[in-house]
């Protein structure tokens, strides 16, 4: 589509799209600053929203901010803007995660830059984490290949677990969930990021209506945000017996790779939405160093594991709250 004027209204739309990205416990650890003179949006980490128990390295924080960055690039491309992106542009300030210089395109090139990103834009608002059971329909090979291509475009590998390795990874997920429940500090941290919507209006965190049902078989895949609490009226349901899990990896394991992983993750998720898929995450084993090391088994693939994603066909998850754009965007004179 032709470029739209880059005014304050568009800037707010761009940032609203960016902040629709998923983040660990929906903490939304980002802030954007726009400089008019350079037509540049700067993405900064809000380290006061980090999770020192579950994410002491801030790897997860960077992945979430990378997902927001991908949404920003999609939104810019959809609106006819080029988005010249630089990761970690200020080495002495680790909070500056990226700069995005926005430029209006001139003319109509035969192959518009980032055309593949623009078509993902409608999926931004349709992507929600679904902690509900999926059906047993197998994701076709051609769709799996498109998801892998989406990750590769952002310098990451995305591959589905073969059946012979599924049970091992499921066991690690269950082990990590058990470790979490028995660790008072982690339990307290998770509780801090959950919201009882009967007593508070949520703008961040995981609201109780998004917990999803408990697995009636006890073979849990999703993180149970209720912890050891009993939620009155919460449903019980049988989840898929053989969930379709995929692993997202990067060659290295540094902040720049974590940002690339976040962009790859969101590009995969938006591509999945376009193909009628829903998704949830199983990050628990990644938050325990000893379990994450076990997931580096060469049999499971090369590289550093950044995300375990559950994909399939099933009900869409509910909308999770977002902080107001006015709270996360500053427009400089």
To the nearest 10°, the Cα dihedral for 168, 173, 178, 179? Answer: 100
Q: Residue 217's pLDDT is what?
A: 81
Q: In this predicted structure, what is the pLDDT of residue 136?
A: 92
Say whether pTM exceeds 0.85: yes
Q: Which tens digit of pLDDT belongs to each residue from 80-89?
A: 999 999 999 9
Low-confidence ranges of the chain (pLDDT < 70): 1-4, 106-114
**pLDDT at site 106:** 64
SS (H, E, C) the chain: CCCCCCCHHHHHHHHHHHCCCCCHHHCCCEEEEEECCCCEEEEEECHHHCCCCCCCCCHHHHHHHHHHHHHHHHHHHHCCEEEEEEECCCCCCCCEEEEEEEEECCCCCCCCCCHHHHCCHHHHHHCCECCCCCCCCCCCHHHHHHHHHHHHCCCCEEEECCHHHHHHHHHHHHHHHHHHHCCHHHHHHHHHCEECCCCCCCCCCEEHHHCCCEECCCCCCCCCCCCCCCCCCCCEECCCCCCEEEEEEECCCCHHHHHHHHHHHHHHHHHHHHCCCEEEECCHHHHCHHHHHHCCCHHHCCCEEEEEEEEECCCCCCCCCCCCHHHHEEECC
Per-residue model confidence (pLDDT) at position 3 = 56
**Interval 33-59: pLDDT, tens:** 999 999 999 999 999 999 999 999 999
Cross-strand pairs, 45: 30
Q: Which residues pair with 330 in a beta bridge?
A: 33
Distance from C-alpha of 172 to C-alpha of 203, rounded to nearest angstrom? 32
């Amino acid at each position: 589509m032709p470029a739209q004027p880059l005014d304050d209204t568009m800037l707010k739309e761009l940032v609203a799209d960016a902040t629709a990205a998923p983040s660990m416990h929906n903490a939304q650890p980002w802030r954007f600053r726009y400089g008019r003179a350079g037509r540049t949006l700067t993405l900064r980490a809000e380290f006061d929203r980090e999770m020192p128990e579950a994410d002491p390295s801030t790897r997860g924080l960077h992945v979430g901010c990378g997902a927001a960055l991908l949404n920003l690039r999609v939104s810019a491309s959809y609106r006819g803007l080029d988005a010249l992106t630089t990761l970690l542009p200020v080495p002495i300030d680790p909070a500056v995660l990226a700069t995005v210089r926005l430029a209006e395109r001139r003319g109509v090139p035969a192959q518009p830059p980032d055309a593949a990103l623009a078509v993902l834009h409608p999926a931004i608002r349709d992507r929600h984490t679904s902690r509900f059971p999926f059906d047993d329909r197998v994701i076709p090979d051609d769709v799996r290949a498109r998801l892998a291509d989406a990750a590769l475009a952002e310098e990451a590998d995305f591959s589905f677990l073969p059946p012979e390795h599924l049970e091992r990874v499921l066991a690690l997920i269950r082990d990590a969930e058990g470790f979490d429940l028995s660790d008072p500090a982690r339990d307290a941290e998770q509780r801090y990021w959950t919201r009882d919507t009967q007593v508070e209006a949520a703008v961040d965190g995981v609201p109780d209506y998004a917990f999803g049902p408990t697995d009636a078989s006890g073979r849990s895949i999703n993180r149970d945000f209720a912890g050891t609490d009993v939620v009155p009226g919460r449903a019980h349901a049988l989840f898929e017996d053989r969930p379709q899990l995929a692993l997202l990896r990067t060659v290295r394991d540094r902040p720049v790779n974590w940002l690339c992983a976040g962009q790859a993750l969101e590009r995969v998720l938006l591509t999945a939405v376009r193909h009628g898929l829903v998704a949830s995450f199983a990050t628990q084993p990644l938050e325990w160093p000893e379990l994450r090391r076990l997931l580096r088994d060469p049999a499971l693939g090369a590289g550093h594991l950044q995300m375990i994603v559950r994909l399939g066909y099933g009900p869409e998850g509910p909308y999770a709250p977002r902080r107001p754009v006015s709270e996360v965007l500053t427009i400089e004179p």
